[in-house]
Amino acid sequence: MEKLFSYGTLRSKEIQRQVFNRILTGSADQLLDHKLKSLQIEEEFGMADYVVVVPSTDPSDIIHGVVFDVSSAELAKADIFESNAYKRVQVKLKSGTEAWIYIEN
């Protein structure tokens, strides 16, 4: 199993059903030394507002999210779901867990 840290859309049960055909199980965790930045992405019916993770020089910046267990095939589905405004990288979370996360491309 792979670890996927989500701070946004992939935490939604509706989105999880759409992308993975199931509800994911996970646990709360945090990403240190990063912050959220507003991002507009063009979608089928116009522009939509999202957030994206970017590095921060402020050690007090923390991103709260959930670490999910996903298969390699599900991780590939998440790659398709995320737009090219994001890229997937591995990070170490506050708990020490190594996880994939989508950050600014």
Q: What are the structure tokens assigned to 79, written together? A: 């790659």
Positive or negative, the CA dihedral 6, 77, 91, 68 is positive
Candidates 85, 56, 68, 64; CA nearest to 25 is 68
Candidates 31, 37, 32; CA nearest to 5 is 31
Q: State if pTM tops 0.95.
A: no
Q: What are the structure tokens assigned to 76, written together? A: 């590939």
pLDDT tens-place string over residues 48-97: 677 888 899 998 999 999 999 999 999 999 999 987 878 999 999 999 99
